[in-house]
Amino acid sequence: MTFREHIKMERRALKELWHHHRTYVIYMCLFFVFQAAYPYIPTYFSAEIINNLYDGAPISTIITNVALAVGLTFLCHGIVRFVQPRLSIAHNNTFKTEDWLYSKKAMEMEYSSIESSDIALLRSRVRQESHFGFNLWQLLKTVRNNVSNITRIVCSLALSISFFISSGVPLFGKLGLVGLLIITIVVDVLCTAKSQKISNRFWDECSTINMMSDKYEELVNNYGYSMDTRLYSMENGILSRIKEIDTTENKKGLKRSFQWMIVNFPKVIVADILKFGAYILLIWCSIKGAMSVGDITKYVVCIVGLIEAVSQVVRNTQISFLNHTYLERYFSYFDIPNNMYQGSLTVEKRMDNEYYVEFRNVSFKYPNTDTYALKNVNVKFKIGEKLAVVGMNGSGKTTFIKLLCRLYDPTEGEILLNGVNIKKYDYDEYMQIFSVVFQDFKLFAFTLGQNVACAPTYDAKKVEECLKNAGFEDRYKSLPDGAETYLYKRFDKSGIEISGGEAQKIALARALYKDSPFIILDEPTSALDPVSEYEIYSSFNTITGEKTAIYISHRLASCRFCDNILVFHNGEIIEEGKHDTLVSNENSKYYELWSAQAKYYVEDNIDE
């Protein structure tokens, strides 16, 4: 980076710090200003009292200085104690705010960014660097240290200025002290630069190791993996791998510490020589009678403190500039743009529910690929239709749904809602017309009602009705707290464990609760037993009512309940029609899939 770029980065980082962590910065500055100033009060007044006693000053003067020393010390100490718990709370809130910023950014990203492995790795690395005290956390540390050290510099100069202007101190002594201070700063800068390079190289080498360590730790700490771990005797392999990773990192850490010791040794030697020189100069001045015993006490503390504080400010400024590499990576994550056009049109609310969706010559490639996931798709359907989407794995079924829900935009062609390109609709409002249950849906360790409503508050009667329609009624009646029953035991020890089929029913109830015009179900009954599957499909027309229902399914029996079937193959719609029509064509792909499944069930029955 150029110097101008460093300044620009520092200004942006400080602005970000003030915007999101203002309370913490204020309390931090107050705390470290008074904490740094606190020792100078007894230093100054001790020197004054010694001088008073040595000079035979009136007792009233001595008592006044003692009272001021005790009073100001008490006041400063009281301010520090008052600010400290508030600083602790603000510090904890800063961690929470940072977590919230990462979550907020993830929610604001376009879906293609969420699915990108490069962005996932970037996010993981930035969070790791935050965890180890770089980027914004290093900036906070720098601000804290500089506030403290600048306070020390101001206090030291205020109390030792008389030393530098005193005619009793020889000029060569003053110049020598300043010269040694400059040499110390130069050596400090060079040593800090080398040690920081060693540190950066260490963290770069360990970034992949740390990510692997986090993943293995998750296997150990997440009870959801515990059954597989035990059944497949994985514990020894996992623990040995964690030990291997830790050993590798520890060896690198020891190497870094040894290199640090060698690199920083000149800095320690020069700093000690400077302090030694300051002591010699002060002792010489005292012998010559250029200063009193009290002044000696004061100047020793202040000059040594000044030397250390100036060195620390220079070092912190240098580290701050070196931290800009981490800040640049930190901001590169938060600067990832959302290039998906948001639109502004309101989705038309029609009383007659005459909504039409049309895919017109739609083709799509996933980012960073040259292969079409969908190619020249043309289809039109309206509200109230029951549409099945079938095909082999990788044929484009889920991609079709992602485009309909506008998780991605088509590479070519357009998708229309009532004749208007869906890009022109307000994005958030358009998303509200879909209730989707994807195959990899997630349930949370919250209450059952919150899982169904996807909200902290909910309509309990509506939750119960949706669960009933989704086939969860029998299990619901057995729950001790009804909709207030917690799923899993992460937050509540009385939480219940549910089967895969039950989880699928809850996810289906979630889609019904949202009450959107479109219900999209990706393998909605894959985890259900045959009886439950039949019950769901038998009542599906009643459940969905006049809503549009789109099913992605490998079980072609579900297609018999649908008004229309789209058969995907290699990213294209190769067949379309009703079940009876498609199955009657023995040369069709649908017939091939149907026959393969029918043969399986026939053979299964024969075996029985």
Average pLDDT over residues 586-608: 69
pLDDT confidence tier of residue 541, bands split at 50, 70 and 90: low
The b/e string for 230-269 (b: 16+ C-beta within 10 A; e otherwise) is eeeeeeeeeeebbeebeeebeebeeebeebbeebbeebee
Mean pLDDT value across the chain:
84
Whether pLDDT at 9 is above 90: yes
Q: Phi and psi of 167, rounded to 5°?
A: -75, -15
What is the total count of domains within the chain?
2
Question: Which of 31-35, 189-193, 525-529 shows the lowest mean pLDDT across its residues?
Answer: 525-529
Which residues does 543 contact at the CB level (< 8 Å), separation at least 6? 469, 470, 512, 536
List the alpha helices (DSSP H) in 109-170: 111-115, 117-131, 136-165
Q: Is 543 part of a structural domain of the chain?
A: yes
The Cα 481–Cα 498 span in angstroms is: 15
On whether both 451 and 484 belong to a single domain, the answer is yes
Q: Quick one: 533 and 557 in the same domain?
A: yes
Same domain? 422 vs 537: yes
* Structure token digits, residue 476: 């619901």
Spatial separation of the C-alpha atoms in residues 419 and 356, rounded to whole Å:
8
Q: Is residue 286 part of a domain?
A: no
Give phi and psi for 470, each to the nearest 5. Answer: -85, 0
Tell which of 469, 489, 511 closes a domain: 511
> What integer pLDDT is reported at residue 604 of this predicted model?
47
Note whether residue 500 is domain-resident: yes
Are residue 466 and residue 569 in the same domain, yes or no? no
- Is residue 480 scored above 50 in pLDDT? yes
pLDDT at 400 over 70: yes
Asked if residue 606 has pLDDT above 50, the reply is: no
- Position 600 scores a pLDDT of 55
For residues 414 and 481, membership in a common domain is answered with no
Helix, strand counts (H, E) of the chain: 22, 10
pLDDT over 80 at 293, yes or no? no
pLDDT at 91: 92
Domain CATH code at residue 369: 3.40.50.300
In the chain, % of residues over pLDDT 70: 90
Whether the per-residue pLDDT at 602 is higher than 80: the answer is no
Q: Average pLDDT in the 316-322 region?
A: 84
Contact 133, 140 (CB under 8 A): no
Residue 1: per-residue pLDDT: 78
- CA distances in angstroms from 589 to 376, 397, 502, listed in the order given: 19, 15, 33
Q: Is residue 418 part of a domain?
A: yes
Q: What is the percent of the chain with per-residue pLDDT over 90, rounded to a whole number?
A: 29
558 lies in a domain? yes
Burial 484-513 (b: 16+ CB within 10 A, else e): ebbbbeeebeebbebeebbbbbbbbbbbbb
Q: Are residues 467 and 530 in the same domain?
A: no
Beta bridge partners of 568: 391, 573
Please give the residue that has the higher pLDDT: either 361 or 491: 361
Q: Is the pLDDT of residue 434 over 90?
A: no
Same domain, 365 and 495: no
81-105: pLDDT as tens digits: 999 999 999 999 998 999 899 989 9
CA separation, residue 31 to residues 25, 160, 497, 541 (Å): 10, 24, 48, 66
Is the pLDDT at 300 greater than 60? The verdict is yes
Q: Looking at the predicted structure, is the pLDDT value of residue 493 above 80?
A: yes
Q: Residues 412, 549: one domain? A: yes
Domain-embedded: residue 158: no
pLDDT of residue 531: 63
End-of-domain residue from the set 511, 546, 564: 511
Residue 188 in domain: no
Minimum mean pLDDT range among 296-305, 329-338, 475-484? 296-305
Residue 412 located in a structural domain: yes
Determine what percent of the chain falls in helix, strand and coil, rounding each to the nearest 5. 65, 10, 25
Report strand pairing: 386-391 vs 548-552: parallel
* Average pLDDT of the residues in 309-317: 85
In the β-sheet with 548-552, what is the strand arrangement from edge to edge? 434-437, 518-522, 548-552, 386-391, 564-569, 572-577
Instruction: Specify whether 458 is located in the same domain as 501.
Output: yes
Same domain, 360 and 422: yes
Give the domain range for residue 374.
355-433+516-578
45-86 pLDDT, tens digit per residue, is: 988 888 888 788 899 998 999 999 999 999 999 999 999 999
Residues 404 and 531 in one domain: yes
pLDDT per residue as tens digits for the range 103-157 = 899 888 888 888 888 888 888 889 888 888 889 999 999 999 999 999 999 998 8
Confidence of residue 221 (pLDDT cuts 50, 70, 90): low
Q: Give the residue from 456, 480, 511 where a domain finishes.
A: 511
- Report whether pLDDT(579) > 60: yes
Domain match, 388 and 428 both: yes
The per-residue pLDDT for range 180-200, each reduced to its tens digit, is: 778 887 887 788 778 777 877
